[in-house]
A and B are shown apart, each in its own frame.
Chain A
Amino acid sequence: MSQTWFQSTNARVAGAFAVAAALQIVGTLLIPGYSAPFAIRALLVIASLLAVASIGQTLVVILGGIDLSIPFIIGFANVVAAQLYGAGWNFALVCVIVGVLAVLIGALNGLISRGLDIHPLIVTLGVGMIVQGAVLLWTGGFPSGSAPAAVSAFVSIGGSVGPLPVPALVPCVAVLTLLVALVLARTAYGRRLYALGSNPGAAPLALIDPVRMWTVTYAASAFFAAAAGVLLLGFTGSAYGDVGQPYLFQTIAAVVVGGAALVGGRGNYFGTIAGVLVLTEINTLLIGLGFRPSTMQAALGLVIVLLVSLYGRERHVSATI
């Protein structure tokens, strides 16, 4: 009970950043070329993609929910954007269409979950499966098309912007991070998001409309997932419906490693960024150490559990009375 907001959340975020830095040092010591410019660039790009996909999960977790539709929306945006662009559509129009559809799907997630009081785990899973099925049906399972060169250049590991030796994606994500943090800390939406996640029972008396908040937040989550899907199209070069699958657990893990509580009302996007860096570092390190994918997965699980048990522990029930 004596923990203040600063002690709990900020310490968790700082802890996660420290772990990411420590992993970078370990990698540099163990693996030749781990801190080479190209390796760092690759790490930043991969982390940026995960960071975009994790924005929505962060918002939704602060609200006290969870979004399992993120990987399906990523796949949806990835395939639909490629398919339409491949059919000769204007890419800006394609992005608008994908964005609007994603927002509608996300809004539906929030509306059903809060409006009818059904656990978002089930709703987002069901909606996600529908979306994935629809995409598969439309493409017959074999999506075609590609991304315009501009998107590929935007995310290319070898790219650069002006004097910066990184593709435009990285500074853009840095700016986006500040924007998300600003929205969370300094807007009515942000403050209401924390309040609603903190105590849903008290929210209506504080003039917060829970259904509206959930609808807007899940819509935002889907929007950023779609953005990640389009960026991944540029990154991999061709459409792939299952491209989002690794992001299901990674976004949740990033948010939690970054210090947010899944019961709501806690966490911030800097924490998620720290979590994203930790996860990306672990992945890169394990690949660099020559682990097989199967061993890597096991090691990743172990590391997540270890990290969260270091600083992500919840209070005992006796401390909540």
Chain B
Amino acid sequence: MADRATLSVRSLVIAPGASPVTQAIAPGEIVGLAGLDGHGQERFLKVLAGLERPAAGDVTIEARAITSFRKAVASGIAYLPRDRRSTGIFPTQSVLDNFAVSTLSRDMRFGLLSFAARRRRYEAYREKLSIVAPRPDASITTLSGGNQQKVLLARALALEPAILLLNDPTRGVDVATRHVLYDVFRGLAADGMALVILSSEIEEILLLCHRVLVFREQQVAAEITGNEMKSDTVIAAMFGRAA
């Protein structure tokens, strides 16, 4: 798996009639996606993950086209979904099960799952993300929302992705946990991972990201970097006004 890879977006049209988007997301970069709900930023993220098909254009990683979620994962993409309850956790399953479900093959010893290997893998991420789960073999629903989210992040990171796509990762997460997650995201980027973060909170984007793509009417209305990264600029772009 590629440790460092550039995600290339070429003339991508997310909805018929919208102007195309061309972007390159480099290793170590944190890119924010902002916009009013339903203005295309979520669709853009899902296209990057191979979960939705664009109207035109393509997404590639090192010349490999992302046309399905499986291909995306095989090319080094990991995706953290927005709605924990409906598309994230497996509520009847343990914390460990929830952590390992995407990467089962790594715990196989002689064709059978090794609980010890799984536990070792989990412990590494538990420490890194400071997951608070007194009993990892207990149901994931015994954890707080923030810790459930950390387990899901651990599940995504276990894929050892080159590019991490985060769909509103701090939704319904307490403030303390948020700051833990921010530190983790910065650390991952420092290690060369590329991160794309969709967030409904502008402050969060300004705090974390190197640049922001603001979506309006299914296209990128503005790309904001450097000194321009202020909440008025972003809000103005979201509402389609000049700053």
Q: In the bound complex, what is the Cα–Cα distance between A194 and B97 (angstroms)?
A: 9
A298 on interface, CB distance cutoff 8 Å: no
CB pair A202 B137 closer than 8 Å: no
CB pair B108 A188 closer than 8 Å: yes
Per-residue contact bits, chain A 123-159, to B (CB 8 Å; 1 contact, 0 not) = 0000000000000000000000000000000000000
CB pair A188 B104 closer than 8 Å: yes
CB pair A195 B113 closer than 8 Å: no
CB pair B92 A5 closer than 8 Å: yes
CB pair B90 A5 closer than 8 Å: no
CB pair A198 B90 closer than 8 Å: yes
B101 on interface, CB distance cutoff 8 Å: yes
Q: Is the interface of B mostly helix, strand, loop or mixed?
A: mixed
CB pair B73 A207 closer than 8 Å: yes
CB pair A4 B139 closer than 8 Å: yes
Q: Give the residues in chain A near B135, CB-CB below 8 Å.
A: 4
Within 76-96 of B, Cβ neighbours of A (below 8 Å) are at 79, 81, 86-94
CB pair B79 A205 closer than 8 Å: yes
Within 287-319 of A, Cβ neighbours of B (below 8 Å) are at none
Q: Give the residues in chain A near B89, CB-CB below 8 Å.
A: 199, 202
Q: In the bound complex, what is the Cα–Cα distance between A202 and B86 (angstroms)?
A: 6
Per-residue contact bits, chain B 112-135, to A (CB 8 Å; 1 contact, 0 not) = 110000000000000000000001
| CB contact under 8 A between A194 and B102, given known A3-B139, A6-B138, A205-B81 | no
Which chain B residue shows the least CB distance to A3? B139
B100 on interface, CB distance cutoff 8 Å: yes
Which chain A residue shows the least CB distance to B105? A188
B150 on interface, CB distance cutoff 8 Å: no
Q: In the bound complex, what is the Cα–Cα distance between A182 and B114 (angstroms)?
A: 12
A271 on interface, CB distance cutoff 8 Å: no
Q: Give the residues in chain B near A187, CB-CB below 8 Å.
A: 111-113
| CB contact under 8 A between A206 and B101, given known A3-B139, A5-B137, A265-B92 | yes
Per-residue contact bits, chain A 1-38, to B (CB 8 Å; 1 contact, 0 not) = 11111100000000000000000000000000000000
B69 on interface, CB distance cutoff 8 Å: yes
Q: Give the residues in chain A near B139, CB-CB below 8 Å.
A: 3-5
B142 on interface, CB distance cutoff 8 Å: yes
Q: In the bound complex, what is the Cα–Cα distance between A199 and B81 (angstroms)?
A: 14
Q: Give the residues in chain B near A199, CB-CB below 8 Å.
A: 86-87, 89-91
Q: Give the residues in chain A near B112, CB-CB below 8 Å.
A: 182, 186-187
Q: In the bound complex, what is the Cα–Cα distance between A6 and B96 (angstroms)?
A: 14
Which chain B residue shows the least CB distance to A188? B104
Q: In the bound complex, what is the Cα–Cα distance between A1 and B91 (angstroms)?
A: 10
| CB contact under 8 A between A2 and B142, given known A195-B101, A206-B102 | yes
Q: Give the residues in chain A near B64, CB-CB below 8 Å.
A: none
CB pair A202 B113 closer than 8 Å: no
Q: Give the residues in chain A near B233, CB-CB below 8 Å.
A: none
CB pair A191 B104 closer than 8 Å: yes
Q: Say how far B243's CB is from chain A's closest CB, in angstroms.
A: 37
Q: Give the residues in chain B near A202, CB-CB below 8 Å.
A: 81, 86-90
Q: Give the residues in chain A near B73, CB-CB below 8 Å.
A: 207
A88 on interface, CB distance cutoff 8 Å: no
Q: Give the residues in chain B near A246, CB-CB below 8 Å.
A: none
CB pair B87 A205 closer than 8 Å: yes
Q: Say how far B76's CB is from chain A's closest CB, in angstroms.
A: 14
Q: Say how far B78's CB is from chain A's closest CB, in angstroms.
A: 10
Which chain B residue shows the least CB distance to A208? B101
A204 on interface, CB distance cutoff 8 Å: yes
A192 on interface, CB distance cutoff 8 Å: yes
CB pair B138 A4 closer than 8 Å: yes
Q: Give the residues in chain A near B111, CB-CB below 8 Å.
A: 187
B179 on interface, CB distance cutoff 8 Å: no
Per-residue contact bits, chain A 258-269, to B (CB 8 Å; 1 contact, 0 not) = 000100111000
Per-residue contact bits, chain B 135-154, to A (CB 8 Å; 1 contact, 0 not) = 10111011000000000000
Per-residue contact bits, chain A 178-196, to B (CB 8 Å; 1 contact, 0 not) = 0000100111100110110
A162 on interface, CB distance cutoff 8 Å: no
Q: In the bound complex, what is the Cα–Cα distance between A59 and B135 (angstroms)?
A: 27
CB pair B92 A191 closer than 8 Å: no
Q: In the bound complex, what is the Cα–Cα distance between A217 and B236 (angstroms)?
A: 54
Q: In the bound complex, what is the Cα–Cα distance between A106 and B113 (angstroms)?
A: 27
CB pair A198 B102 closer than 8 Å: no
CB pair A201 B87 closer than 8 Å: yes
| CB contact under 8 A between A204 and B155, given known A2-B142, A265-B90 | no
Q: Say how far A1's CB is from chain B's closest CB, in angstroms.
A: 6
Q: Say how far A216's CB is from chain B's closest CB, in angstroms.
A: 15
Indicate the member of A182, A194, A198, A264 with the most B CB atoms within 10 Å.
Answer: A198
Task: Identify 5 residue pairs between A and B in the complex whose beta-carbon atoms are under 8 Å apart, listed by A's number.
Answer: A5-B94, A6-B137, A191-B104, A191-B113, A194-B97
What are the 5 tightest A-B residue pairs by CB atom distance, in nearest-first order?
A265-B92, A198-B90, A188-B104, A4-B138, A198-B92
